[in-house]
Chain A
Amino acid sequence: MRWIIFFLLSLLSSPLSAQTTDSTTSKFYKFMPNSAVLQFAGNIGMFSTGIRYVTPNKHWKGSLHYGFVPVRYAADKAIHSITIKGQYSTIHRQYSPTTQVEWLNIGLWHNYSFGRNYFSSLPRHYDDGYYYFPTAVNIGLTLGSELRYQRWGVYYELGTTDKRVINFAKSPKAVSFREIWNFGIGLVYHLKH
């Protein structure tokens, strides 16, 4: 876990130093992420931090997050997880040279939680098919919007998870469609134009 934080911090620190040089064509710049992200909630951590890459046409985004839930909202150990998120940005509008709004971002994420309390493949003391799901892995779907002003951005997302969708599918009357959604909000620092 410490190594993940170290890796992310080193990724963030190198672009900040790259800005002082002629950065637009350096190798560093090419590999530098487009933005750094800090998110609150959204089922990928109480707080999660990550780096994001965007395709040249700005429609596809991929991000990698490290998320953390403190002991207060977890068991005897904090929950550390890693999330890979992919998003497609539609209804993308540039309102001024400095302001841009993505009105609808559709995202899919895969979250893995570390620790012996959770498993991704069924442990050996269970018979085959005893539990049909992994407890360490969760998959989510998000819908959201993002605003960018100069180098900063904010976004919100409405999300759901695979386990909630399954619950809803099996009990559609009791578990209303509204129940399966939750909010996440995030702050973005754009490292590139």
Chain B
Amino acid sequence: MYFRTHFFVSVAMLFIALLTSCNRNFQFSVLEVKPLDRDINQKAIDRIKQLTPRDTFSFLVFSDTQVAYDELESFVAHVNSTYSMDSIAFMLHGGDFTDYGANFEYNLYYDDAKKLKFPVVGCIGNHDMLSNGRTIFKKLFGPEDFSFNYGDYRFIVFNSNSREVRFDGSLPNLNWLQQEIDKSKENNTIYLSHVAPMTTDFDPALESNFTNILASDKKNRLSIHGHTHSYVLEEPYNDGVQYLTAPALQKKQYVKVTISSKDIQIQQKFY
């Protein structure tokens, strides 16, 4: 008799505790769309706009952080303790924040990366497009194709994951890319997209148009990518365009780029 009353009371308390507990503990589906923040790329760009641009500046590039949350945590600690606020302007992420494009993975990345003291701008990776990943990216990060400037440098960031759309010609969006280049008021261009044109996951029908667009851009300084997980710096088309592939964070590596109007220094870093 008493047991029953007590039990119902404790069950009721348990339910109240559950209902008022952290919203994250009620998950509707692995495929759900419930990112923890909105437009974090724009928020980072707003912070970058507050900086006083320098003629010579540095930025860090890291990429393919999916499933490597231990490495991401130690990377955040390493960056925050190694680099003073005026030594690095911002950081770029080369894509693949997630393995399955799942909401919980995006949020796990966000939990760790928000502790970085520098603004981070990222492009979408192929894994990030799986399931409802494209929708989550658009809500959490913002548009897939966008550009921003730092001083006399225009950074053009876009989706180049052609295989995810079955090579239908929509990715990368070359019309958009050419328009961004044409309307750029800065004298230097740096490109950021996940899949490089040299890889088999880049639309072969668009490869030569894409590389021609980059080669024709006289202000082009560098094209940055991720996806293939190993650090490579090369000029594969002999057309004056340098392609940098950032290593996967699981290898405990990243890249530091120091650039001025006359010079560019690219260093593979280990931590």
Residues on A facing B (Cβ under 8 Å)? 40-46, 67, 69, 73-76, 79, 81, 95-96, 99, 101, 111, 113, 117-118, 125-126, 131, 133, 135, 138, 147, 154, 156, 161, 163-164, 166-167, 170-175, 179, 181-185
Contact = CB atoms under 8 A, between A and B. Distances in A.
Interface string B1-43: 0011001000100110010010011111111111000000000
B69 A171 contact: yes
B32 A69 contact: yes
Contacts of A126: 163
Nearest to B127: A131
Contact of A74 (B26, B32, B71, B100): B32
A135 B4 contact: no
Given A76-B135, A96-B4, A69 B28 contact: yes
B3 A75 contact: no
Given A79-B32, A131-B127, 9 more contacts: A67-B29, A74-B33, A79-B28, A163-B102, A166-B67, A167-B108, A171-B67, A174-B70, A184-B26
Contacts of A111: 29-30
B250 to A, nearest CB: 9
A148 B131 CA distance: 38
By Cβ-Cβ distance, the 10 closest A-B pairs, closest first, are: A174-B69, A171-B69, A75-B135, A41-B26, A46-B28, A75-B132, A171-B70, A182-B27, A135-B131, A69-B28
Interface string B192-211: 00000000000000000000
Contacts of A117: 31, 131-132
Nearest to B34: A73
Size category of the binding interface on chain B: 35 or more
A44 B31 contact: no
A183 B18 contact: yes
Given A41-B28, A75-B33, A171-B68, A118 B131 contact: yes
B14 A156 contact: yes
A82 to B, nearest CB: 12
Given A67-B29, A75-B132, A135-B101, A154 B11 contact: yes
A188 B232 CA distance: 58
B104 interface: yes
Contacts of B64: none
Contacts of A172: 70
B31 A74 contact: yes
A61 B135 CA distance: 37
Contact of A183 (B3, B21, B131, B134): B21
Contact of B104 (A41, A135, A164, A174): A164
B105 interface: yes
Contacts of A73: 28-29, 32-34
